[in-house]
Amino acid sequence: MCGIVGYIGKASAKPILLNALSTLEYRGYDSCGIAIRNDSIDIYKDIVRVEVMQKESPTLNGTTGIGHTRWATHGEPSSTNSHPHTDCSGKFAVVHNGIISNFQKLRQQLIAEGHVFTSETDSEVIPHMIEKYYDGVLEEAVQAALDEIEGSYAIAVLTADEDILIAARKDSPLIIGVGDGEMFIASDVPAVLDYTDRVIYLEDRDLAVITKDSFKITSDGTEIKRAEHRATWSKEDVQKAGYEHFMLKEINEQPRVIQNTIGDYLVSGEPSSDAEFKFDEELRDLSIVACGTSYHAGLVGKYIIEELHGIPVRVDLASEFNHGRRMIPTSMAIAITQSGETADVLSTLKRFREESVRTVAITNVPGSSASRVANDTIYTKAGPEVSVAATKSFIAQLISLYQFTLSCPGLHRGIRESLLAELRQMPNKIEQVLDGACRIVNVAKFLAKHDNVFFIGRGINHPIALEGALKLKEISYIHAEGYAAGELKHGSIALLQENTPIIAIVANDNTRDAMISSINQAKARSAPVIALADEDDEDIGSLVDYVIRLPRTGNMFTPVTNAVALQLLAYHTAKHRGCPIDFPRNLAKSVTVE
């Protein structure tokens, strides 16, 4: 993986491909390359940023081409391992996202047949397989190659013989952008927004033959129609809008994101009948599956659902669920994925569907794979998130889980109305957190001097301690661990000393006294303590070294304000350390391989 683009039309392909690749940089990558058809196929690729390629690549003429940004899975980052890859003859060029699980077997067969490989990648077998089966009809050769490939793929294929492109996918996202006398291929919608808002979402095992004026889609050899959609995002949505980094922009967008997410839900103070989640029967139990930041959102969801409804909720890492886990019966499963394309989550969703479990996807991307696999979809309406570190999408997931919980049958009307009132206040509360960012900057300056940090929380804020640690390690490269505060004394306290800061989330709820006890234990080991606390907590300042004060919020909603404060802390810490905030090393925005 990571980013695929393709163009066929009347304009010069090179600047369009490079511009589209630059729009996909948020997905994370270590190298990039393009291939242009001009009688033969000209390729330029290297382990550079797209902006460097825009300045330094040679003149490549032609109106048809493909491009790729690579995040290494097989073989180290190098110009040789970069995409596009070609066959022995140089007649075919391919870019590929996904993992070919049987590539070693195919590679050995092809070598025995005389094919010569130049890279360490699994992807290189694809153009060689196409060459093997090519008999004048590219579509048939690509299909024959894909029939032998096991694993996941999204591919774009270019040939020197004719002015067409082939696109195909299985378990990895791919779209067609429809223009006027030109067509586009991309792994994500933002890549085409400068040129068109008309989008076709390919589905598993689709193969598309694309010319500048038309396209044909087949599935298992049968021609089919896929609906055309209008993209709901604009190209302005993926610009920095004057902010230094996308992450800072997206943190500051969160009041609007919350308002957008609850806007359809609340009409005149009551749930909207067309936006409220519909329950066909009473919910007996629930499974939540997710990865990374979305998993932390799921843990908050578990707390609020169990607290308000008294039904058991199981939260699993999708990456663990798929490997030898026996399916536990459940009445409903929620899959949380920002992109809607997370490979581990999609595999889990499909397992639930096979067991006839009702599935709900919480995702940020209309038309994504998760929305097509699940029975129902709750869209978070965060808008495109460019920075690799998830911020506004996490907050939108939390808000969606609150709404889901409030929609569950059986909640006492008075409790529900009280929580709805709190929910309506959240945009204003987040504005207050953002207004106090200057105080967080001073704490970040202190934190940036350290290499190891612990985050502790209790109850509903334990997942926020996990999320805070993840954010800090992702973008500042500081080793950070998140703990349930009571677990600190069961081993990890051995690591505490004067150069190991503790970040403690001190909620003004029934966990406060126990949290103060944990802080005292840390201070007794000379560890400096940074506390997140209510603005009216008069005692906390005398117990810790730094306090980040936050607006008083109802106990059930403190994860939202605390999460935003920790996002800002991670951002400013990374800035003080001079880290590449939007594109942290080794990370990809959309993890489409297992």
> How does pLDDT run across 368-407, given as a tens digit for each residue?
889 889 999 999 989 888 888 999 999 999 999 999 998 8
Q: What CA–CA distance (Å, rounded) separates 132 from 144? A: 9
Percent of the chain with pLDDT over 90: 60
Of residues 45, 170, 429, 589, which has the active-site annotation? 589
The model's pTM is 0.81
Instruction: Based on the residue annotation, tell me whether 2 is a catalytic residue of this protein.
Output: yes
For residue 50 the two structure tokens come to 């797209």
Fold entry, domain 436-581: Rossmann fold (3.40.50)
Query: Which of 200-203's residues contact partners 24+ apart within 8 Å by CB, and which partners?
Result: 200/175, 200/176, 200/226, 200/227, 200/228, 200/229, 201/173, 201/175, 201/226, 201/229, 201/367, 201/368, 201/372, 202/167, 202/168, 202/169, 202/174, 202/175, 202/176, 202/226, 203/169, 203/369, 203/372
pLDDT in tens, 459-505: 999 999 999 999 999 999 999 999 988 888 788 887 788 889 999 99
Q: Specify whether the CB–CB gap between 37 and 12 falls below 8 A.
A: no
Give how far the C-alpha of residue 68 lies from the chain's centroid of Cα atoms, to the nearest Å: 18
Q: Which range, of 100-114, 311-325, 340-354, averages the lowest pLDDT?
A: 311-325
Fold entry, domain 240-427: Rossmann fold (3.40.50)
- pLDDT, averaged across the chain: 89
Highest mean pLDDT among 27-36, 48-57, 554-563: 554-563
502, β-bridge pairs: 454, 529
What integer pLDDT is reported at residue 390 of this predicted model? Answer: 92
For residue 587 the two structure tokens come to 């990370």
Instruction: Based on the residue annotation, tell me whether 589 is a catalytic residue of this protein.
Output: yes
CATH architecture observed for domain 2-237? 4-Layer Sandwich (3.60)
Number of H helices, E strands in the chain: 17, 27
User: Which of the 8 DSSP states describes residue 577?
Assistant: T
Q: Where in the chain is the domain with CATH 3.60.20.10?
A: 2-237
What integer pLDDT is reported at residue 268 of this predicted model? Answer: 42
Q: Which range, of 173-182, 446-455, 512-521, averages the lowest pLDDT?
A: 512-521
Q: Which residue is listed with tokens 């993992």?
A: 99
Taking alpha carbons only, the member of 48, 52, 56, 53 closest to residue 31 is 48
What integer pLDDT is reported at residue 273 of this predicted model? Answer: 38
Q: What CA–CA distance (Å, rounded) separates 317 from 187? A: 25
Of residues 2, 32, 291, 579, which has the active-site annotation? 2
What integer pLDDT is reported at residue 325 of this predicted model? Answer: 64
Length of the chain: 594
For 1-26, what is the mean pLDDT? 89
pLDDT tops 70 at residue 592: no
What integer pLDDT is reported at residue 210 of this predicted model? Answer: 97
For residue 467 the two structure tokens come to 């999320």
Burial group, residue 493, by CB count within 10 angstroms (0-12, 13-18, 19+): middle
Q: Which range, of 252-266, 303-317, 549-563, averages the lowest pLDDT?
A: 252-266
What integer pLDDT is reported at residue 520 of this predicted model? Answer: 87
What integer pLDDT is reported at residue 27 of this predicted model? Answer: 67
Q: Name which residue leads in pLDDT, 327 or 351.
A: 351
254-263 and 392-407 are packed helices; what angle lies between their axes, rounded to 10 degrees? 30
Taking alpha carbons only, the member of 455, 472, 437, 465 closest to residue 527 is 455
SS3 content of the chain, % helix, strand, coil (to 5): 40, 25, 40
What integer pLDDT is reported at residue 278 of this predicted model? Answer: 62
Q: Where in the chain is the domain with CATH 3.40.50.10490?
A: 240-427, 436-581
Taking alpha carbons only, the member of 95, 88, 90 closest to residue 113 is 88
What integer pLDDT is reported at residue 201 of this predicted model? Answer: 92
For residue 23 the two structure tokens come to 């729009």
